């Protein structure tokens, strides 16, 4: 082993021993062992004379460096031991103390998501009564009494109030908003609660959430509806989703359709839509030869279930904190 190599070995040996020393006494001993009068490094330095004159300069330099490094290591380890002694109870690996964190209901998040998308597109958010007049809920929307189309909506009626019911859809707000004197062009959505007199099970609820949409202006086309709703679904579910609209029947629209979205390889019915029926436009006190528009309605429970992968609608209304905690990334 050359002298230079011996210095390097001694240095790394010393540094390792110092880093693992656990007491001050140990450090004292190490100091003596390496830097003391009879210490390893000291003895090496004394052999300087035996080093060839050519290498002497390099040897001197490395021996000096080694001495500084060992001193430095000793000082650091002394400080570390001191620190450890003064804060022996500190364990940075203990878990953090969590703040109290509340949870939003997933329906709230769906409604907000939807409302934000539409508000960015210039749609107003509009509200209407949940206890509704029968004519607003049905007749004025072109669903006459004793028409089989009423079978599509199982209805709760209000006792002692002839002609009053719990709205079965948010569509009556279309009429209310227009009769309120809204000026064209109109773009609005109505998120809110609706009611269906149906026994509850995993896919049916009697009190649920819908969102209605309405666009009215001069010259609004059927194909404008196709474009708009495709955009909305993409904003909600990502650019990757595909939509298609198929013919369907809702008495208050003509032509009518059902918008389906391709989700995880399957086409799912997402919302009913169509051009506002001329009779309904007339009931809105609009001239159907001048104005046109489209309307759409979707179930927010279903949308929420899809967004979060829920299989039982009843969980949404159970008031169970565990349910909210179970919604996570």
* 74-93 residues near another protein, rule: CB under 8 A: none
Give yes or no for a contact between 6 and 13, defined as CB atoms under 8 angstroms apart.
Answer: no
How many amino acids of this chain bind another protein (CB under 8 A)? 83
Backbone angles phi, psi at 91, to 5 degrees: -125, 100
Please state the closest distance from residue 21 (CB atom) to another protein, in A: 48
Cβ atoms of 214 and 253 within 8 Å: the answer is: no
Residue with Cβ nearer another protein (66 or 126): 126
Burial string for 102-120 (b: 16+ CB within 10 Å, else e) reads eeeebbeebbebbeebbee
User: 186 — phi, psi (to 5°)?
Assistant: -115, 130
Q: Which is nearer to another protein, 13 or 254 (CB)?
A: 254
Site for another protein in 281-320 (CB under 8 A): 292, 316-320
- Cβ proximity to another protein: between 13 and 156 the closer is 156
Please report how close the Cβ of residue 25 comes to another protein at its closest, in angstroms.
Answer: 49
**Token duo for residue 304:** 């929420």
User: Least distance in Å: CB of 247 to another protein?
Assistant: 3
Complex with another protein: residue 123 or 138, whichever CB lies closer: 123
Nearer to another protein, 7 or 259 (CB): 259
Q: Does 199 bind another protein (CB under 8 A)?
A: yes
CB of 94 to another protein, least distance (A): 22
Alpha-carbon distance values, 33 to 4, 66, 295, 308 (Å): 19, 14, 90, 67
As measured in angstroms, the least distance from the Cβ of 185 to another protein is 5
Residue 309 CB, nearest distance to another protein (Å)?
18
Segment contacting another protein (CB under 8 A): 46-54, 67-75, 78-86, 97-105?
Answer: 97-105
In the range 216-275, which residues lie near another protein by CB under 8 A?
Answer: 217, 219-224, 226-228, 230, 244-249, 251, 254-258, 269, 275
Shortest reach from residue 161's CB to another protein, in Å: 7
Contacts of 221 (CB under 8 A, 6+ apart): 292
If you ran DSSP here, which 8-state letter would residue 95 be given? P
When computed from its CA atoms, the radius of gyration of the chain, rounded to whole angstroms, is 39
CA distance 123 to 272: 18
- Rounded distance between C-alpha atoms, residue 263 and residue 303, angstroms: 11
Rounded to 10 degrees, the C-alpha dihedral 197/203/208/212 comes to -110
Which residues, 107 to 166, sit near another protein by CB under 8 A? 107-108, 112, 115, 118-127, 129-131, 146-149, 151-152, 156-161, 164, 166
Identify residues 20-79 at the interface with another protein (CB under 8 A): none
270 contacts 262 by C-beta, under 8 angstroms: no
**Residue 115 Cβ, how far from another protein at the closest point, in Å?**
7
Residue of the chain from 33, 56, 105, 113 that contacts another protein (CB under 8 A): 105
């Amino acid at each position: 082993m050359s002298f230079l190599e011996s210095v390097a070995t001694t240095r790394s040996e010393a540094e390792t021993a110092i880093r693992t020393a656990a007491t001050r006494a140990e450090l004292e001993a190490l100091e003596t062992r390496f830097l003391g009068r009879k210490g390893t490094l000291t003895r090496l330095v004394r052999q300087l004379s035996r080093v060839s004159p050519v290498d002497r300069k390099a040897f001197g330099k490395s021996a000096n460096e080694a001495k500084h490094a060992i001193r430095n290591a000793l000082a650091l380890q002394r400080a570390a031991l001191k620190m450890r002694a003064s804060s022996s109870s500190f364990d940075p690996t203990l878990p953090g103390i969590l703040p109290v964190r509340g949870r939003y209901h997933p329906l709230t998040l769906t409604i907000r998501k939807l409302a934000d998308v539409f508000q960015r597109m210039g749609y107003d958010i509009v509200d209407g009564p949940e206890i509704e007049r029968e004519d607003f809920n049905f007749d004025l929307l072109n669903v006459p009494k004793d028409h089989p189309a009423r079978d599509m909506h199982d209805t709760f009626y209000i006792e002692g109030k002839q002609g009053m019911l719990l709205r079965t859809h948010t569509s009556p707000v279309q009429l209310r908003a227009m009769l309120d004197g809204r000026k064209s062009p109109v773009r609005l959505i109505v998120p809110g609660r609706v009611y269906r007199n149906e026994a509850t099970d995993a896919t049916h609820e009697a009190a649920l959430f819908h969102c209605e949409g309405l666009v009215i202006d001069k010259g609004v086309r059927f194909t404008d509806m196709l474009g708009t709703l495709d955009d909305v679904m993409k904003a909600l579910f990502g650019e990757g989703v595909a939509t298609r609209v198929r013919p369907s029947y809702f008495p208050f629209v003509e032509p009518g359709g059902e918008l389906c979205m391709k989700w995880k390889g399957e086409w799912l019915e997402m919302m009913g839509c169509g051009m506002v029926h001329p009779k309904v436009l007339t009931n809105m006190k609009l001239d159907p030869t001048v104005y046109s528009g489209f309307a759409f309605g979707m179930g927010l429970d279903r949308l929420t279930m899809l967004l979060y992968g829920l299989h039982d609608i009843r969980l949404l209304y159970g008031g169970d904190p565990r349910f909210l905690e179970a919604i996570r990334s």
